[in-house]
Chains A and B, each alone.
Chain A
Amino acid sequence: MIEHRSIAGQPLQWNVELRDIAHRSSLLYELVHRDLTVRYKRSFLGFFWTMLHPLLLMLIFLIVFSALFQTRTPHYETYFLSAYVAWNFFAQTIVNGMAGIAWNGPLMKRVRVPLSVFTVASTVSGLVNLALSLVVLFAIMAITGVPLRPALLFLPVSLTIVWIFTLGISLGLTAVSIFFGDIREMVQAGLPALMYLTPIIYPISVVPERFRWMIKLNPLVYLVEIVRDPIYYAIIPARMTLLIAVVTSLGSLIIGWMIFRYLAPRFHAHL
C-alpha cells in the first residue's frame, strides 16, 4: 500500500516526483494528447495549425532574410531553419509552460498529481511539434537539393540536450511565474530580443570580431549550433561546443528543478 507523506516545509523530492509520474503511466500521454488537441479543437484548421503556424513563420523569415544572407550562406533556407526549429521549440515551450498555469491550476487544486508533470508534458508536446517541423525541414532540404547525410543520426543527441535545457528553464520560470504573474509578459517581451542575439537568422561571422565574445556568452549559441551542425553542415558538433551545451543544459535542469521544488509546496496559495 502506497504511503504518501506531506510534511510542512519539505521541498519536493526528485525521486518521489519521478516515481509518481511513472506510477501514473498514462498521465503524461493524456496531458500531451490534450495539449496537442484541445488547443486547436475550436479552430477551423484544427491540428494542422500546429504545423502551419511554424511554416508560416518560417516563410516570413525566409522571404525577409534570405535576400540579405543568401550570398554569404548557400542554401540559406536550411541554414536558417535548422537553427530556427530548435529556437522555436525552446521559445514556444517555455511560453506554453507558463500559459499552462491558468489551464492546469484548477487541476492542481483538485487532484494529487506530481506538480512538475504539467511542465514535463508541455516540453513533450513541444518535442512533437519539433518533430513535425523537422519533417517539413527535411522536405525542404530534399526539394532544394541539400543532401541528407549520416551526421543526421547525431540529431537525437542534440535534441535531447536542447530538451534538457528547455525543461530546466521551463521548470524555473513556470514556478516563479505562479508567484509573480508579470514574469510571463516579461519573458514574452524578452524572447524576440534573445532570438536576435542568437545567430539564427544570421551567421555569427557577420558580427564584428570584437563583439563576438559577448554573443558567445549566450548559451543558446551552442544549443542552436549542435542542432545546426548535423543538419546543415552534416558534421558532428565540435567537442568543445558539445561540452558547453551539455554543461549548460544540466546546469539549467538542476537550477530549474531547485527553484521548482522549493516553490511547488506553496503554489496552491497563488492558483
Chain B
Amino acid sequence: MNVIELERVSVRYRETKVRSLKEAAIRAVKGHAKADYFYALRDVSLAIHHGEAVGMIGANGAGKSTLLRVAAGIITPSLGVVVTRGTVAPVMELGTGFEAELSGRENIFFKGALLGCSRAYMRSRLDEIISFSGLEAFIDAPLRTYSTGMVARLAFAVATTIDAETILLDEILAVGDGAFKRQCKTRIEGFVARGSTVVLVSHELEAIESFCSRTIWVAKGEIAADGPSAEVIAKYKAQGS
C-alpha cells in the first residue's frame, strides 16, 4: 500500500506578488499583464510505500521542503493530486510550529492537538516525550528561551512518540548534536522496523545513506533521480554538489 502518492503535482507561485488592495487597484488601472509563475515543483509523480525509509536530497531552494509540505497535505498543489493514507506527522524545518510564549510542557499538548491527539493521550505520553527530548530541566521554561537544537529535539520527540503512521523530517538532524543524532538514528530504525514510513530531508549524505534504503534527489523542482540510496547519492556527488 502507498501511504503517499503524488500524481503530476506542481506547486507554483506568481513571480511578483500583489500584497495589498492598493497595489491590486494600481495594477488594474495600469493594465499590467499577469505575472509569470515560478515552479517550486514541476510535474512531480511519486509513490512512497508503507514501511519505507526514504531520504531526500538536493540543493538549497530545490523544492524539498515544498515536496514534503505538499506530501503531508499542508499545502494544496497548484496542479495535480496528492493522496495520503493514515496519520502523518511532519516536523518542518526551523520553528516547527510551536508557540514561543508557552512552556515546553504546554507546547507538547499544543503540538499534540495540532497533530490530532487528545490531551488524555498526550498526558499518557508526556514522560516519554520529555525524557526522550532530554529537556527535563527546561521543560517548564517558555519555548522562546530554547536554543534551535532544543526546539528541534522537542519537535522530533513529539512527532515520533505519537503513533503516527508516517513521519516527515525536514533538516532535523542539521541542528542536533552527536548524542541527539544517535538517538534519532535509533528511533528512525525502530520506526522502520515497526513498519512505519519515514521521509528524511537532509544535506548530510552519510546520514541519509545509513538511514534510508531509497533516496530521491530533487533538483529545480523536479525529481533528478530516485532509487537505492548509494546509487542516487553517488550520482548527486558526481554532479559536483
Residues of A within 8 A of B (CB): 1-8, 10, 23-27, 29-31, 34, 38, 41-42, 106-113, 179-183, 186, 265-266, 268-270
Q: Are B19 and A34 in contact (CB under 8 A)?
A: no
What A residues does B86 contact at CB under 8 A?
A: 1-2
Given A110-B97, A182-B22, A269-B13, also A25-B118 (CB < 8 A): yes
Q: Are B114 and A181 in contact (CB under 8 A)?
A: no
**Interface presence of B223 (CB below 8 A):** no
Q: Which residue of B lies closest to A11 (CB)?
A: B76
Which are the 3 A-B pairs with shortest beta-carbon distances? A110-B97, A265-B76, A30-B113
Q: Are A41 and B101 in contact (CB under 8 A)?
A: yes
Q: Are B115 and A181 in contact (CB under 8 A)?
A: no
Q: Are B81 and A8 in contact (CB under 8 A)?
A: yes
Q: Name the residue in B86, B115, B116 with the highest tally of chain A Cβ atoms < 10 Å from its Cβ.
A: B116
In the complex, A182→B90 CA distance in Å?
Answer: 32
Can you name 25 A-B pairs with beta carbons within 8 Å? A2-B87, A5-B82, A5-B83, A6-B73, A7-B76, A7-B77, A8-B77, A10-B76, A24-B113, A26-B117, A26-B119, A30-B109, A30-B113, A30-B114, A107-B114, A109-B69, A110-B92, A110-B95, A111-B90, A111-B115, A182-B21, A265-B76, A266-B76, A268-B74, A270-B19
Given A107-B114, A181-B19, A181-B20, also A34-B99 (CB < 8 A): yes
A8-B80, A179-B18 are known; give 19 further A-B pairs, CB within 8 A: A4-B83, A5-B82, A6-B73, A6-B76, A7-B77, A10-B76, A26-B117, A27-B114, A30-B110, A34-B99, A34-B110, A38-B101, A180-B18, A180-B19, A183-B21, A266-B76, A269-B17, A270-B17, A270-B19
**Interface presence of B85 (CB below 8 A):** yes
- From A30, A110, A269, A270, B90 is in contact (CB under 8 Å) with A110
In the complex, A30→B88 CA distance in Å?
Answer: 20
- From A2, A8, A25, A186, B78 is in contact (CB under 8 Å) with A8
Q: Name the residue in B14, B81, B85, B99 with the highest tally of chain A Cβ atoms < 10 Å from its Cβ.
A: B99
In the complex, A4→B183 CA distance in Å?
Answer: 31
What A residues does B19 contact at CB under 8 A?
A: 180-181, 270
Shortest Cβ distance from residue B78 to the other chain A in the assembled complex, whole angstroms: 6
Shortest Cβ distance from residue A188 to the other chain B in the assembled complex, whole angstroms: 14
Given A26-B113, A26-B118, A110-B92, also A4-B73 (CB < 8 A): yes
**Interface presence of B45 (CB below 8 A):** no
What A residues does B20 contact at CB under 8 A?
A: 180-182
Given A106-B97, A180-B20, A180-B24, also A6-B77 (CB < 8 A): yes
In the complex, A183→B110 CA distance in Å?
Answer: 30
Interface size bracket, B side: 35 or more
Q: Are A3 and B85 in contact (CB under 8 A)?
A: yes
In the complex, A186→B24 CA distance in Å?
Answer: 15
* CB 8 Å contact bits of B176-205 with A (1 = contact, 0 = none): 000000000000000000000000000000
Q: Are B70 and A24 in contact (CB under 8 A)?
A: no
Shortest Cβ distance from residue A33 to the other chain B in the assembled complex, whole angstroms: 8
What A residues does B81 contact at CB under 8 A?
A: 5-8
What A residues does B88 contact at CB under 8 A?
A: 4, 112
**Interface presence of B102 (CB below 8 A):** yes
In the complex, A108→B90 CA distance in Å?
Answer: 12
Shortest Cβ distance from residue A21 to the other chain B in the assembled complex, whole angstroms: 11
Shortest Cβ distance from residue B34 to the other chain A in the assembled complex, whole angstroms: 14
**Interface presence of B72 (CB below 8 A):** yes
Q: Which residue of A lies closest to B115 (CB)?
A: A111
Shortest Cβ distance from residue A26 to the other chain B in the assembled complex, whole angstroms: 4
Name the interface residues of B183-237: CB closer than 8 Å to any CB of A. none
Q: Which residue of A lies closest to B6 (CB)?
A: A6
Q: Which residue of B lies closest to A7 (CB)?
A: B81
Q: Which residue of A lies closest to B80 (CB)?
A: A8
What A residues does B22 contact at CB under 8 A?
A: 182
**Interface presence of B75 (CB below 8 A):** yes
What B residues does A26 contact at CB under 8 A?
A: 109, 112-113, 117-119
Q: Name the residue in B20, B69, B90, B92 with the highest tally of chain A Cβ atoms < 10 Å from its Cβ.
A: B20
- From B84, B113, B115, B142, A29 is in contact (CB under 8 Å) with B113
Q: Are B21 and A112 in contact (CB under 8 A)?
A: no
**Interface presence of B79 (CB below 8 A):** yes
Shortest Cβ distance from residue A113 to the other chain B in the assembled complex, whole angstroms: 6
Shortest Cβ distance from residue B97 to the other chain A in the assembled complex, whole angstroms: 4
Q: Are A112 and B74 in contact (CB under 8 A)?
A: yes
Q: Are A180 and B21 in contact (CB under 8 A)?
A: yes
